[in-house]
Structure 1
Amino acid sequence: MARKAKAEKKNVAVIGLGRFGEAVALRLNDLGHEVVCIDESLDIVQHLADALPHVVQADSTDAEALRALGVNEVDYAVVAIGASLEGSVLSVLALQELGIAEIWAKASTRQHGLILERLGVSKVVYPEADMGKALAEQLCGA
């Protein structure tokens, strides 16, 4: 029987460490990927310092701050900022300024998602809606 090929190790930046961003970062780390995690809150950074090897407090809307953290070298970036439309959009722009081609971003509303799409993010995710649909399909065997 053929063995499943092991996934290639990726370098990923996760920006915004609320419930969604934290879950993404922890799972990527568990899967063996190199993850740099960024949040503006020192409390959140300190809370996750033991669980994640590269977690820092920084302004994710500042391209030079991201460059100093090596974010310009990542394969993927996940913008998990949902509470601040401005922070989300400006973080995407900063990542684009660094030349990050593969950006996935969380949207909290349909309008937020449309803005992210028009900015050219690779994938817009709606965590609550996506999980709700998946759960409904699991319940009904769809």
Structure 2
Amino acid sequence: MGTYQVIEGSCHCGNLAVAAALSHEPGHYQPRACDCDFCCKHGASYLSDPAGRLRVAVRDEAAVTRYRQGSGQAEMIFCARCGVLVGACYREGERLFAAVNRRIFSEEFGDEVPASPKMLGPEDKSTRWLQLWFADVHIDRLLEH
């Protein structure tokens, strides 16, 4: 197991907090700017590291919105309080895969690269996500004191 650099980000109100353990420095990554209508309207580009780890802490599950669009395979995750698109999840059997909206982090990444999943069929999309997205993903609900 190698050395990881942990970066942290969150939605605007802090309801969804993300810690990404990256296998490289942040500048090594080129977030993918999806060209679908949905992602373009949100200005989203996605960070993932199949060799990394992703932890999401949820303060109030009732304030998390999930939305499926496009092929309906991936679930887009939003904070219902502040409206921030935090990322996307895809479940394959019992495993959860995810990519995170790079805009929730303050770190500088490499230049964005275009991605066009709308040109792929459903099976090709899921194959691509399994190859590129975080494969070690845990979502924890925080207990308020």
Report the TM-score range of the alignment, normalised by the length of the smaller protein. Answer: under 0.3
How high is the TM-score relative to the length of structure 2? Answer: 0.23
| The structure with more helix, counted as a fraction of residues | 1
- Asked which structure has the greater CA Rg, the reply is 1
How high is the TM-score relative to the length of structure 1? Answer: 0.23
| The structure with more strand, counted as a fraction of residues | 2
